Amino acid sequence: MKKTLRIICALAIALSVAGCAKKAEPVAAPAAPAAPYKVAFIYIGVPGDLGWTHEHDVGRLALEAAFGDKVKTAFMENVPEGPDATRVIRQYAQDGYDMIFATSFGYMDPMAEVAAEFPKVKFVHCSGYKTSENMSTYFGRIYQARYLSGIVAGKMTKTNIIGYPGAFPIPEVVRGINAFTLGARSVNPKVQVRVVWTNTWYDPVKEREAAVALLDAGADIIAQHQDTVEPQKAAQERGKFSIGYDSDMRKFVGDSVLTSPVWNWGVYYVDTVRKGMDGTWKSSQYWGGLSDDVVRLADFSPAVPQDVRDLVSTQKVKIVGGTWDVFTGPIKDNSGKLRVNEGAKMSDEELLSFAWLVEGVVGKVQ
């Protein structure tokens, strides 16, 4: 009887010690090597697109360079927008990732759905507008760089027709087309920007076809809002200039690419992940511009003459310094109606829901 009691007591003690040991664990943790902060990326295309996804992947690699083995990054490529993305995002959340970046507009609803299920995971969505306690949005004012690239195109076109394959008629793309057109027409009021909607972000074949159609229509410069370098290649094959996007496409295509508005996501990713690691991350809506260095204008091709470069740098100084911004009136829409009065500046809300095209754009937002 006594023996049994002793055993039970011993067991109880052993168990309580074990319990204590468990409780003590968090204190002991710093001594052990800390688990890496796990960050996942959802890509719409592949890093080899040399454009949109490529630049996000450069940002991801910047994280690894900045934090070494303190972070572990992963990515999933070719994830379709819409409900299918829900599964992929949830999978990462379930696998214990601390922060998930979704890098296309169509991931917004899926991400919001999963974010509600995993309150401890931090969700960061590129280019949308839905936020919650644990879901942020981020984007950059690429329109500033697009305006500058428009100046280059406006100065260098001879036919005064510039072709612009655009992905979708949504505010993000419309804003870019408008900024580009304003830039081009600021130096050459005769410029027409012709838009062809491809209804896809990433489709090398369709992007090329759109560019070819525009070249056939008399365009002698091809700008674009797509994910790959195909429109630039199509222009080069015809001996025409182009304006890239996303990455410095001159590196991949050649000097026919006059310049490119480019992303520099690393700045934002490193800052955001650092905040996640030290616990200061808060849900926010980030929209940085040239002054944050999250967007840039790539180096010029040797084909761009000095006077054009000077024009660009004058405007750039104004934008970076904050004394002037792209969407300052008077601005007319492409039916000739005055939309922004002289001296008035469009608000961020208006820019984020842009649904009309400025004067000089040949095209329609449905």
Touching other proteins, residues 193-212 (CB under 8 A): 199
Nearer to other proteins, 40 or 221 (CB): 40
The least distance separating other proteins from the CB of residue 170, rounded to whole angstroms, comes to 5
81 is a contact residue toward other proteins (CB under 8 A): yes
132 is a contact residue toward other proteins (CB under 8 A): no
In the set 94, 132, 291, 314, which binds other proteins (CB under 8 A)?
A: 94
The least distance separating other proteins from the CB of residue 353, rounded to whole angstroms, comes to 4
The least distance separating other proteins from the CB of residue 305, rounded to whole angstroms, comes to 38
- Name beta bridge partners: 137: 125, 285
Assign 357 to helix, strand or coil.
Answer: coil
96 is a contact residue toward other proteins (CB under 8 A): no
CA distance 300 to 27: 55
In the set 67, 101, 105, 300, which binds other proteins (CB under 8 A)?
A: 105
291 is a contact residue toward other proteins (CB under 8 A): no
Q: Which amino acid is at 62?
A: A
In the set 80, 96, 218, 330, which binds other proteins (CB under 8 A)?
A: 80
Cis status of the peptide bond prior to 330, with omega within 30 of 0: yes
The least distance separating other proteins from the CB of residue 301, rounded to whole angstroms, comes to 32
CA-derived radius of gyration, the chain: 25
- Name beta bridge partners: 204: none
106 is a contact residue toward other proteins (CB under 8 A): yes
Under rule CB under 8 A, how many of the chain's residues touch other proteins? 35
Backbone angles phi, psi at 132, to 5 degrees: -155, -175
The least distance separating other proteins from the CB of residue 43, rounded to whole angstroms, comes to 9
291 secondary structure, DSSP code: G
In the set 7, 19, 65, 78, which binds other proteins (CB under 8 A)?
A: 78
The least distance separating other proteins from the CB of residue 223, rounded to whole angstroms, comes to 21
Nearer to other proteins, 107 or 164 (CB): 107
The least distance separating other proteins from the CB of residue 105, rounded to whole angstroms, comes to 7
In the set 10, 11, 25, 95, which binds other proteins (CB under 8 A)?
A: 95
The least distance separating other proteins from the CB of residue 261, rounded to whole angstroms, comes to 22
Q: Which amino acid is at 148?
A: L
CA distance 304 to 256: 10
171 is a contact residue toward other proteins (CB under 8 A): yes
Which region among 164-172, 216-224, 246-254, 262-270 touches other proteins (by CB under 8 A)?
164-172
Shortest CA distance to 39 belongs to which of 106, 101, 94, 85?
A: 101
The least distance separating other proteins from the CB of residue 3, rounded to whole angstroms, comes to 45
74 is a contact residue toward other proteins (CB under 8 A): yes
299 is a contact residue toward other proteins (CB under 8 A): no
Is the separation of the CB atoms in 292 and 267 below 8 Å? yes
Structural element, H or E, at residue 19: helix 2-28
Touching other proteins, residues 44-73 (CB under 8 A): 46
Note every long-range contact of 324-331, with CB atoms under 8 Å and residues 24 or more positions apart, other chains counting.
325/144, 326/143, 326/144, 326/147, 326/179, 326/182, 326/183, 327/143, 327/178, 327/179, 327/182, 327/351, 331/182, 331/358, 331/359
Is the separation of the CB atoms in 222 and 163 below 8 Å? yes
Shortest CA distance to 125 belongs to which of 165, 81, 71?
A: 81
How far is CA 220 from each of CA 66, 71, 301, rounded to the nearest angstrom? 42, 46, 16
Is the separation of the CB atoms in 277 and 129 below 8 Å? no
91 is a contact residue toward other proteins (CB under 8 A): yes
CA-angle at 172, arms to 170 and 177, nearest 5°: 90
Which region among 78-86, 237-245, 282-290, 326-334 touches other proteins (by CB under 8 A)?
78-86
129 is a contact residue toward other proteins (CB under 8 A): yes
347 is a contact residue toward other proteins (CB under 8 A): no
Residues in contact with other proteins by the rule CB under 8 A = 46, 74, 76-78, 80-88, 90-92, 94-95, 105-106, 109, 129, 168-171, 174, 199, 352-355, 365-366
